[in-house]
Amino acid sequence: MQKKLIALAVAGLASTGAFAQANVTVYGIADGSFDTVRVSNTNGNTDLGNTTRVSANSSYLGFKGAEALGNGLTAVFQYEASVGFDSNGSNTTNALIGGSRDSFIGLASNFGTVVLGTLTGPTRALGTALDVNAGAAGIGANSALLGKLGNNLVNSTNNVTGNYAAGGSCDRSATCASIFDTRWKNAIAYVSPTYYGLNVTAAYVANENKTFHNVGVAAANTTGYDVGVKYANGPILAAVTYNAVSLGNDAGTNVGDFRIGGSYDFGIATVRALYDRARADHFGGAKVTQNVFGLGGTFNVTPAGKILAQAYFAGDVKANGSSASDTGAKLFEVGYEYSLSKRTLLKAVYAHLNNDNNARYDFGNNAVGINPTAANAVTGLNTTGATVQGIQLGLRHSF
């Protein structure tokens, strides 16, 4: 149920047969967990101790449908909203109106599908497809390290100053993924039909945020593209993607992310591997790069239960080819999922994120908040080098 149209780039659902329905379908995910998280071993000798919370783990509500127009042409649409039932859920109505998740209108035919709206591009889709967690949600998700470039490319392109110059800011329980692992707003995408397991997706991000340089106002003219080629046939999935963004700021900063990865399903077990290279040109006067790679897998202990594990490693950030020492991090996760039915599963995971001495990465989903926004920052708090870890016990239901 959690597969979304634009994720066809990796999931391989681009055939027009997927749009044979004529009615509106209501669907979604309710994913709740009780978490115990901890921040320790910071350079500032600050041990924040244990924090307990309830998390909604990317729960959402969606509506989708299609209308056959004749001559092989089909109109398709989808609206999706995040549902934060761990708080009072008051954001749901406004989020649904705005389409906070994958939301679009488009046309499908034998020649492919074109959609416009807020979209998951092929780069993000590849990262989530190779994550071992159901829905790529939870504190152990690989978005903790992918594409962040030393924690500088965090969140979205809406803010073209704060998210790129001074490092990423993520409050407690917020999403803290790279710009390449969030949904692109003001986007148009083409998804090709699938031939012998092979298909292509190409997306363009429009420059609606364009502003002119003025006194006290930074220039902005953000545009980008995201392309991917995916092969999925039988037990094999393999894909390569490239996402490039021109920020259109005064410095002329351009950022990009290259990914290649795949998985193999043995039936009783799966293995996954992913390589990610993020870079930025004219970024603080330098060309900056960082490599991240990860391995993961699952093993079916019983027909209803499986063990999952993954490990991701972010190397040191390099500026003009020279490494900035101790700017990487390591993420380890181990867990267990037990299916009570086809729609409902129990889960338990342990995640451990170990920052190098000069790094401050946080969980990509349900951040602990070691890099708060300016409004929530504590003066003088030094959380570099932190160890961030947690346990989640939860229930996930799809409908």
Q: Tell me what the pLDDT averaged over the chain comes to.
A: 84
Higher pLDDT, 22 or 358: 358
Q: What is the pLDDT of residue 333?
A: 97
Q: What is the pLDDT of residue 370?
A: 81
Percent of the chain, pLDDT > 70? 83
Residue 179 has pLDDT above 70, yes or no: yes
Residue 294 has pLDDT above 50, yes or no: yes
Task: Confirm if 188 and 116 have CB atoms less than 8 A apart.
Answer: yes
Q: What is the pLDDT of residue 17?
A: 40
Lowest mean pLDDT among 13-17, 183-187, 237-241, 303-307: 13-17
pLDDT, one tens digit per residue, over 274-290 is: 999 999 998 878 899 99
Q: Which fold has domain 5-398?
A: Porin (2.40.160)
Residue 194 has pLDDT above 90, yes or no: yes
Q: What is the pLDDT of residue 176?
A: 85
Residue 220 has pLDDT above 90, yes or no: no
- The stretch 37-49 carries a mean pLDDT of 75
Residue 19 has pLDDT above 70, yes or no: no
